[in-house]
C-alpha cells in the first residue's frame, strides 16, 4: 500500500512539537532569550522576528561595531536598553544612551557606531523589513567565499550528501514529496540512480530489495557508502552498505521492532569502521542506537535530557518554523564521531548545546545510568540539521536560521564559517579528502509538513561545495 510521506511526517510531528502558536501564524509567541544570536559582522549580532505588517529586532553590540550607512522604506524605532550608540542622520550626530529612544523616518540615510561593550538595542520596523526576509540588504557585509554548484535539482529535494575518497558525490533524495528516486550519484551535475534503478522505489514493488524512505548517508574511511532507511512505509528501519569499487550492495541490516519500532525517525548515522560499530540518532523517540556491525546486535539509549529538544524556536527569515502545525521541537540530530572514533558528539536540532560522550561505553554495553552520567556539554551550537567533523576535531554545523555554516573548533570555540543567502535550509554537509565542504540545500521549512500549507519551495534546489 502506498502512503503520502508528507502525511506520515505530519502524523509523527506531535512527538516533538509544542502548542503555543495558533493556526495560520496569526499569533506568534516566542522567546528571544532562548534563541540563537546571528553574527552579522564583527561585534554585531542580532535576533529578529517578523509578522505580516512589522519586524522586530534585538541587537547586541561591542564597542567599535559599525552598521554602515543605509536607508530603507521602513520607519524605525530604536530603543537602547544597555550601553550607548552614536547614530549619524543627515550628517548630524545623535548620542543615544540606555533608556533612549530614536525614531528614524522612512527613506532616511543613517548609520550606527557602538560606543560601549555590551550595548543592546531593540528595533521596531514598519512595514516588514523585506530586505531582511529576502536577504537582499546590501549594507550587511557579504561573504567573499565562493559557493560552487555541484548539482541542481528542479523536481526533487536533495536530502543528505556524502563524498567518497575519490571524489564521487552521492545524495539521498528527501522523502518529503514522494520522490521517484531515493539514492543517487551526481555524474556531470546530474542525478543518476545508485547503485541502479532497480533499487529505487519509483514504480517497483516496495519490499526488502527496494529503498523506502532513506535520509542519512555517509562514506566511511574504508570507502564504503552507508545509508539509513527510516522505513516510514514498510514500518522497519534498515541500514544499507555499498561497496563503491564494485557499486554493489555489501549488506542490509534490519533493526528489530524493539530497537526501532514502527514510527521511528532514525535519520542520521556515524560509522566506526575499525571497531565495527554504527551510531544512529532517532528524533521521533529521541535516542542513540548503537549497532555492533559484526554481531548485528544493537541497543538503544533513551530518556536522557540531552537527547530531547530544548524549548528553543527555529526562527528562519524572522518567522518561527512549525512542524505539524506547531513550533518545531526536534530532538537529537545530528550525530557524529571524533576522528579517532572514541567520542560521540550530538545535539538536538532544536537545541543550543553540543554534547559529547565516550563511545566505548556503548561498545562495552554500559548501563543507561553510567552513559547518562558521562554525557557532558562540549560547547554551544546553532539550531541545526547536519554536521561533519574533520581530522583536526573541527565540527562544521549547519545553521538553519543564519543561512550559514558554523565552525566549532576542537577547543569549543564557535564561529561563522560561511554565511550566504542561498543557504536556504542547509540540510547536511560532508567533507572531501581534497579539502572541500559539500552542502545540500533544500528549503525544507517551506514543505507542507513544516508549514501546514501547500509547498512553497522555489526550485531549483542545490548541492554546493566550498573550499576549506
Average pLDDT, consecutive stretches of 10 residues, N- to C-terminus, the chain (468 residues): 43 38 57 78 91 94 95 96 96 96 96 97 96 83 78 96 97 90 96 96 82 96 97 93 97 96 92 97 96 97 97 90 88 97 97 97 97 97 96 97 93 91 95 97 93 90 96
Distance, CA of 56 to CA of 49 (rounded, Å): 6
Domains parsed from the chain with CATH numbers: 41-133 (2.60.120.10), 148-467 (2.120.10.30)
Distance, CA of 361 to CA of 178 (rounded, Å): 38
Predicted TM-score of the model (pTM): 0.84
| Residue matched to cell numbers 529538544 | 309
pLDDT score recorded for residue 145? 67
pLDDT score recorded for residue 137? 85
User: How crowded is the C-beta side of 1, counted as CA atoms within 13 Å?
Assistant: 4
pLDDT score recorded for residue 26? 57
Distance, CA of 250 to CA of 246 (rounded, Å): 10
Distance, CA of 223 to CA of 376 (rounded, Å): 31
What is Dmax (Cα atoms) for the chain?
Answer: 75
Q: Which helix (H) or strand (E) holds 104?
A: strand 101-104
pLDDT score recorded for residue 188? 94
Q: Are 320 and 7 in contact (CB under 8 A)?
A: no
pLDDT score recorded for residue 14? 41
- Angle at alpha carbon of residue 320, lines to 314 and 324, rounded to 5°: 85
pLDDT score recorded for residue 7? 41
Q: Are 354 and 282 in contact (CB under 8 A)?
A: no
| Residue matched to cell numbers 534498515 | 238
pLDDT score recorded for residue 16? 37
Q: Are 348 and 36 in contact (CB under 8 A)?
A: no
pLDDT score recorded for residue 101? 97
Q: What is the full DSSP assignment across 181-229?
A: -SEEEEETTEEEESS-GGGS-TTSPPSTTS--SEEEEEE-TTSEEEEEE
pLDDT score recorded for residue 142? 61
Amino acid at each position: 500500500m502506498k502512503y503520502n510521506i508528507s502525511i506520515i511526517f505530519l502524523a509523527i510531528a506531535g512527538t516533538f512539537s509544542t502548542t503555543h502558536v495558533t493556526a495560520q501564524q496569526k499569533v506568534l509567541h516566542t522567546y528571544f532569550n532562548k534563541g540563537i544570536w546571528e553574527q552579522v559582522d564583527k561585534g554585531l549580532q542580532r535576533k529578529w522576528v517578523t509578522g505580516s505588517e512589522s519586524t522586530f529586532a534585538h541587537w547586541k553590540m561591542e564597542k567599535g561595531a559599525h552598521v554602515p550607512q543605509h536607508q530603507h522604506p521602513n520607519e524605525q524605532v530604536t530603543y537602547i536598553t544597555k550601553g550607548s550608540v552614536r547614530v549619524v542622520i543627515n550628517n548630524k550626530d545623535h548620542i543615544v544612551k540606555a533608556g533612549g529612544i530614536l525614531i528614524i523616518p522612512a527613506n532616511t540615510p543613517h548609520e550606527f557606531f557602538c560606543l560601549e561593550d555590551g550595548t543592546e538595542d531593540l528595533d521596531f520596523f514598519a512595514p516588514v523589513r523585506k530586505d531582511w526576509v529576502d536577504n537582499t540588504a546590501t549594507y550587511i557585509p557579504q561573504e567573499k567565499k565562493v559557493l560552487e554548484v555541484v548539482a541542481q535539482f528542479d523536481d526533487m529535494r536533495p536530502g543528505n550528501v556524502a563524498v567518497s575518497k575519490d571524489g564521487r558525490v552521492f545524495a539521498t533524495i528527501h522523502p518529503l514529496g514522494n520522490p521517484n528516486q531515493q539514492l543517487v550519484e551526481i555524474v556531470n551535475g546530474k542525478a543518476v540512480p545508485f547503485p541502479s534503478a532497480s533499487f529505487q522505489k519509483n514504480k517497483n514493488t516496495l519490499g526488502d530489495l527496494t529503498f523506502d524512505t532513506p535520509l542519512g548517508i555517509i562514506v566511511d574511511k574504508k570507502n564504503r557508502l552507508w545509508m539509513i532507511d527510516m522505513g516510514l512505509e514498510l514500518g522497519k528501519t534498515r541500514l544499507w552498505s555499498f561497496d563503491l569499487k564494485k557499486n554493489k550492495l555489501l549488506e542490509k541490516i534490519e533493526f528489530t521492532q524493539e530497537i526501532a519500532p514502527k514510527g521511528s525517525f532514525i535519520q542520521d548515522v556515524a560509522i566506526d569502521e575499525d571497531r565495527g560499530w554504527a551510531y544512529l540518532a532517532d528524533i521521533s523517540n529521541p535516542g542513540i542506537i548503537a549497532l555492533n556491525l559484526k554481531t548485528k546486535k544493537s541497543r538503544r539509549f533513551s530518556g536522557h535530557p540531552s537527547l530531547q529538544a530544548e524549548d528553543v524556536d527555529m526562527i528562519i527569515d524572522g518567522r518561527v518554523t512549525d512542524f505539524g502545525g506547531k513550533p518545531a521541537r526536534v530532538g537529537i540530530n545530528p550525530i557524529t564521531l571524533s576522528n579517532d572514533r572514541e567520542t560521540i558528539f550530538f545535539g538536538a536540532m532544536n537545541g543550543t548545546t553540543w554534547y559529547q560522550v565516550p563511545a566505548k561505553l556503548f561498545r562495552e554495553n554500559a548501563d543507561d545510568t553510567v552513559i547518562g552520567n558521562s554525557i557532558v556539554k562540549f560547547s554551544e551550537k546553532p539550531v541545526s540539521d547536519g554536521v561533519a567533523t574533520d581530522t583536526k576535531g573541527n565540527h562544521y554545523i549547519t545553521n538553519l536560521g543564519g543561512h550559514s555554516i558554523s565552525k566549532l573548533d576542537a577547543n569549543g570555540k564557535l564561529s561563522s564559517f560561511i554565511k550566504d543567502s542561498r543557504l536556504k535550509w542547509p540540510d547536511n554537509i560532508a567533507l572531501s579528502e581534497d579539502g572541500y565542504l559539500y552542502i545540500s540545500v533544500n528549503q525544507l521549512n517551506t514543505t507542507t509538513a513544516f508549514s501546514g500549507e501547500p509547498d512553497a519551495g522555489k526550485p531549483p534546489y542545490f548541492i554546493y561545495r566550498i573550499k576549506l
